[in-house]
Structure 1
Amino acid sequence: MSLFDVYPLFNIAPVKAKDVFVYDQHGTEYLDLYGGHAVISIGHSHPEYVKSISEQVQNLGFYSNSIQNPLQNALASELTKQSNCEDYNLFLCNSGAEANENALKLASFHTQKKKVISFTNSFHGRTSAAVAATDNAKIVAPINAQQEVEFINIGDIISVDRALRKNDVCAVIIECIQGVGGLDENSSKFYQKLQELCHQYNSLLIVDEVQSGFGRTGDFFAFQKHGIQPDIISLAKGMGNGFPIGGILIHPKIKASYGMLGTTFGGNHLACAASLAVLKVLQDENLLQNASEISQYFMEKANDQPYLKRLKGRGLMLGLEFDFPVAELRKNLIFKHQIFTGSAKNPNLLRILPPLTVQRKHIDQFFDALKTEFKS
C-alpha cells in the first residue's frame, strides 16, 4: 500500500526534537522557525509536557464523553485564568478545522440562518463548511461549494454592512491576523465595527485563533489587541504543542442542548493533559513576554535587510515579504543552513512561526543565513 500523495515533501525525516531544534535520521540539527505550522508553542519535547502525558497515559489514556472528565474542567478553568476570557463556555474537539466547523454549525443553530461571510485570503480548514469559508477554490470540492459563503476584502466594512442587511448571515468568520493568507491585519476600528454590525443584524462573530492563539502574538489571543469580544473563538495548534486538540470558546448568550455538538476523541484525557502542560509552561516560563521581546529583537534585525519589502505580523507570528518568490530561498535555508521556515499564499512571503521558547541567538542564526544567501 502507498500513501495517498497529497503532500509535496522535503527530503528530510525528523526522528527526534528538543526545544527549537529538530534532528533527522543522520543526526543533522535543524533550527525550527516554523513550529510545524505554528503548532509547537512551548518547544519540542518539553520536560513538563512529556511528564504530563506520560503520567496520564499510565493511568487513563482515553474514555468517551459519556462520562465525567475532571481534566476538561481543569482545562477550562486554567484557560479562563490565562486568557481572561471570563464567562465563556468551552467545547473541546480535535483540530482547528473541526473547531471552525463546530463554530459555524453552532452559529447556524443559534441564528437559524445559513449564509457565512468570510474574507479574501482566509484559511479556516479543509472540512465541509470550514473549507467553503476558505479562500482557495482549488481545495473546495463540489460538495463543499453548496455552502453559502460570501468573500469580502478585509477592511471593506461597507460591503460587510451591505451583506448583513439581507439578514441571512449566521456568522462572520475572520482571522485577526491571517495565517496562510499572508499575515494581513486590519485596524482596531474595522474589527470593532465588524462586531457592532454582527450584533445589529443578529449574526455571530467568529474569530479564528487557530494559529494566532495561545500566546503566539504576545497576547493570549490576537483579537485582544482590538478591544472586541467575539461570540465564538476557535483554537487549536499551539493549544496542544503537537498533541491533536482543538476547541471553541462560546459566549454565554449561546445556549447548549444535549446532542447539539459531539465528538468521540475531543477533550480526551491525554489531550487535556497535553494542553494543561502547555498552559503551565506558558505561565511558568513567561513565554508570552518572551514572544513580545523576541519579536521586537526580530523586527530590529529585519530593518537591516536590504531586500525586505515589508515586515508583517505580531509577536512570533511574522512574515518577511520580498520582491521575489521565496520558494528557492526556503529550500536554501533548509538544505544549506538547516533552518525550517514557512510559506504562504503570497509567494513572496516567508513565514516565521517558531516555538515561543526561541532566543535571540536563534534569530541571529536566521539573519546570518539570510545575509549569506543575499551575498551569494
Structure 2
Amino acid sequence: MKLFDVYPLFDITPVKAEGSYVWDEKGIKYLDLYGGHAVISIGHSHPHYVQKLTEQLNQIGFYSNSVKIPQQQELADKLAKQCGYSDYSLFLINSGAEANENALKAASFYNGRKKVISFSKSFHGRTSAGVAATDDKSIQAPINKGHEVLFLPLNDAAAFEQVQNPEEYCAVIIEGIQGIGGVYTPNAEFLTQIRAFCDQHNIILILDEIQSGYGRSGKFFAHQYANVQADIITMAKGMGNGFPVGGILLSPKFEAKYGMLGTTFGGNYLACAASIAVLDVLKEENLVENAAEVGNYLIEKLRQTEGVLEVRGQGLMIGVEMPYPVADLRKELLNEYKIFTGSASNKNTLRILPALNLKKEEADIFLEAFSNVLTKSLV
C-alpha cells in the first residue's frame, strides 16, 4: 500500500531529537528553526515532558469523555493562571482545525446566525467551516463552498464599512498573527475596531491563536499585545509539544449544553499530561519571556541583514520577506548548514518557528548561515 502523498517532503528522516536539534538516520545533526510547523514549544524530548507522558501511560493512557478525567481540570486550572482568562471555560479537542470548527459552531449556536467574516491571507484549518474561512481557494472542495464567508482586507480601518446587514453574521475570526499567509500581524487599533463592531452587533469574536499562542509571540496569546479580549480563543500546535491536542476557551456568555459539542479523543489522559507538562515548562523556564527576548534579538538582526526586504512578526514567530522565492534559500540552509526553516503561501517569505527555549547562541548560528547564503547570492 502506498501513502497518499500530499506534502512536499524534506529528503531527511529524523530519528532522534533534543532541545532545538534533530538527528537523521545517518547521525547528521540539524538546528530546527521550523519546530514541526510551530508545534515544538518547549523543545524536543524535554525531560519533564517525557516523564509526565511516561508516568501517565504507566497508569492509564485512554478513556473517553464518558468518565471524569481529573487531569482535564488540572490543565484548565494551570492554563487559567498562565493565560489570564481565568473565568473562561475550556473545551478540549484534538487539533487546530477542530478548534476552529467548534468555535464557529459555538458562535452560531450562541446567536443563531451562520455568516462569517474572515480576512485576506487567513488560514483556519482543513475542516469544512475552517476551509471556508480560509483565504485559499485551492484547498476548497465543492462541498466546502456552501458556507457564507466575507473576506476583508487585514488592517484596513474602512473594511467594516463593506459589511452589509451585520446582524446576519455569527462570528469574526482572525489570527493573532497570520501564519501560513506570511506572518502578518493585526494591529492594535484594528483589533479594537473589530471588538467594538462585534459588541455593537452581537457578533462573536474568535481569536485563532493556534500558531501564535502558547507564548510563541512573547505574550501567552498574541492578541494580548493589543489588550483586546476575545469571546472564543482557539489553541493547538504548541499546546501539546507534538502530542495531538487542541482546545477552545469560551467566555462566560456561553452556556454549556449536553450535545452542543463533542469529542471522543479530546482531553484524553495522555493529551492532558502533555499539555500540563508544556505549561509547567513554560512557567518554570520563563519560555514566554525567552521567546520575546530571543525573538526581538533575531528580528532586529534580520532587519540589519543586507538583501532582506522586510521582517514581520513578534517573538519567535518571524516572517522574512525576500525579493525572490525562498525555496532555494531554504534548501541551501538545510543541505549546506543543516538548518530547518519554513515557508508560507507567499513563496517569498521564509518563516522562523523554533522552540521557545531557543538560545541566542543558536540564533547566531542561523544568522551567520543566513548571511553567508545571502552573500553568495549577491556576489
Bin the TM-score by the shorter chain: over 0.9
Partner of 1:156: 156
- 1:164 to partner: Cα distance: 5.8
AA matched with 1:303: R
Task: Say yes or no: does 1:352 pair with 2:352.
Answer: yes
AA matched with 2:27: G
Partner of 1:205: 205
- Distance across 1 between alignment mates of 2:351 and 2:299: 14
5+ residue gaps, structure 1, are none
Partner of 2:115: 115
5+ residue gaps, structure 2, are none
* Aligned residues of 1:161 and 1:197 also touching (Cα < 8 A): no
* Aligned residues of 1:218 and 1:314 also touching (Cα < 8 A): yes
- 1:304 to partner: Cα distance: 2.8
Partner of 1:308: 308
Matches within 5 A, 1:13-24: 13-24=13-24
What stretches of structure 1 move > 3 A for 4+ residues in a row?
none
Partner of 2:11: 11
- Distance across 2 between alignment mates of 1:157 and 1:371: 37
Partner of 2:52: 52
- Distance across 2 between alignment mates of 1:25 and 1:150: 47
Partner of 2:278: 278
- Distance across 2 between alignment mates of 1:155 and 1:373: 33
Task: Say yes or no: does 1:372 pair with 2:372.
Answer: yes
- 1:166 to partner: Cα distance: 3.6
- 1:157 to partner: Cα distance: 4.1
* Aligned residues of 2:310 and 2:320 also touching (Cα < 8 A): yes
SS at match of 1:151: strand
Partner of 1:259: 259
- 1:162 to partner: Cα distance: 3.8
* Aligned residues of 2:296 and 2:314 also touching (Cα < 8 A): no
- Distance across 2 between alignment mates of 1:164 and 1:36: 40
* Aligned residues of 1:164 and 1:201 also touching (Cα < 8 A): no
- 1:229 to partner: Cα distance: 0.9
SS at match of 1:167: helix
Matches within 5 A, 1:1-376: 1-163=1-163, 165-376=165-376
- 1:55 to partner: Cα distance: 0.3
- Distance across 2 between alignment mates of 1:138 and 1:76: 37
- Distance across 1 between alignment mates of 2:345 and 2:311: 16
Q: Which moved more, 1:114-123 or 1:149-158?
A: 149-158
AA matched with 2:26: H
- Distance across 1 between alignment mates of 2:107 and 2:56: 34
- 1:293 to partner: Cα distance: 1.1
**CA 1:206/1:164 → structure 2, altered by over 3 Å: closer, same or farther?**
farther
Q: Tell me the number of residue pairs that the alignment of Structure 1 and Structure 2 aligns.
A: 376
- Distance across 1 between alignment mates of 2:174 and 2:296: 26
Identity of matched residues, %: 56
* Aligned residues of 1:291 and 1:316 also touching (Cα < 8 A): yes
* Aligned residues of 1:21 and 1:32 also touching (Cα < 8 A): yes
- Distance across 2 between alignment mates of 1:6 and 1:99: 22
CA offsets 1:167-213 (integer angstroms, 9 cap, x no match): 11110000121000011113211101101111111110000000011
- 1:41 to partner: Cα distance: 0.3
- Distance across 2 between alignment mates of 1:373 and 1:75: 44
AA matched with 1:370: F
Give the root-mean-square deviation of aligned CA atoms: 1.0
- Distance across 1 between alignment mates of 2:166 and 2:87: 31
SS at match of 1:333: helix
* Aligned residues of 2:118 and 2:152 also touching (Cα < 8 A): yes
- Distance across 2 between alignment mates of 1:102 and 1:157: 29
* Aligned residues of 1:115 and 1:170 also touching (Cα < 8 A): yes
CA offsets 1:198-237 (integer angstroms, 9 cap, x no match): 1111110000000011100110000101111100000000
- 1:15 to partner: Cα distance: 0.7
- Distance across 2 between alignment mates of 1:358 and 1:200: 42
* Aligned residues of 2:303 and 2:310 also touching (Cα < 8 A): no
Q: Which moved more, 1:303-312 or 1:201-210?
A: 303-312
- 1:326 to partner: Cα distance: 0.6
TM-score when normalising by structure 2: 0.98
- 1:161 to partner: Cα distance: 4.3
